[in-house]
Amino acid sequence: MELYLMCPGNGDGSKGSNSPDRVNFDWREFRANLFAQEKAGKAESNAHNQTGTPQESKPLGLKWAHPIPVPETGCVLVATEKLDGVRTFERTVVLLLRSGTRHPQEGPFGVVINRPLNKKVRHMKPTNTELATTFADFSLHFGGPLEASINSLDEAAALVKKGVLKPQDFRFFVGYAGWQLDQLREEIESDYWYVAACSSNLICGGSSGSSSETLWEEVLQLMGGQYSELSRKPKRDV
């Protein structure tokens, strides 16, 4: 029925500095800094050529996004205008939870993170005890067209009851998005998706529906250039 996601970087900060999540995001931030410096260097060179005055580069903010050439676990897929009119995926941002292999049962999969539903977990009348009690008032999000299920919530529920984690540290999704490896690659090469790395603050920073619904525009604007231009275009008539 539902799939849940725990957002890194939230909670009480009890994770050690060397935890896998922390290290994972550290190298992404390092790469983002390199990308930002290269981008700033090009802009500075252009500005210097035009005005003769060098410009200072801006530090990397809490929210950032930049294009990457191929999908990786933890990246996002941003729907292009080619998906306008495709109700399931138009103007969506998909967090890729597994980049996948060629094995038929191990393809790429992820969840749509900018489609909040006007429902709580309790509205789904869950049979899982923890869903029906501890997580009953958590908001639901549309995760994708494929069915998903939760095996165990015992550990997560225990952390919530102890106050280690808060409701905003979790998102519950109805369904997920999945592909075969070559299928996703073909969709990207056919310009149905842009592939981007982005900060955890951008993915998990907002829990309100309005912030989720504007995430598509925000990611594209942070990516800059041609991507930023797309964020301001109206939906195509299909």
Per-residue pLDDT, averaged over 113-127, amounts to 89
**pLDDT tens digits, 21-53:** 444 557 778 888 887 788 776 655 555 455 555
Question: What's the pLDDT score for residue 31?
Answer: 83
Which CATH number does the domain housing residue 106 bear?
Answer: 3.40.1740.10
Under the banding of pLDDT at 50, 70 and 90, the label for residue 57 is low
77 & 55 share domain: no
Structural domain harbouring 200: 62-231
Is residue 145 over pLDDT 90? yes
Considering the domain architecture, whether residues 76 and 184 belong to the same structural domain is answered as yes
Q: Is 19 a member of any domain?
A: yes
Q: What is the number of structural domains in the chain?
A: 2
- Average of per-residue pLDDT across 192-214: 79
Cα gap 139→14, rounded to integer Å: 24
**More confident: 70 or 30:** 70
For residue 210, the model assigns a pLDDT of 43
pLDDT at residue 167 above 70? no
- How does the average pLDDT of the chain come out, rounded? 82
In a domain? residue 66: yes
Alpha carbon distances (Å) from 182 to 88, 92, 106, 178, 188: 20, 21, 12, 12, 10
State the pLDDT confidence band at 18, using cuts at 50, 70 and 90. Answer: very low
Residue 174 has pLDDT above 70, yes or no: yes
Asked whether residue 19 carries a pLDDT value surpassing 60, the answer given is: no
Average pLDDT on 170-199 reads 96
Let me know whether 116 and 195 are in one domain. yes
97 and 37 belong to one structural domain: no
CA distances in angstroms from 230 to 84, 195, 212, listed in the order given: 12, 14, 18
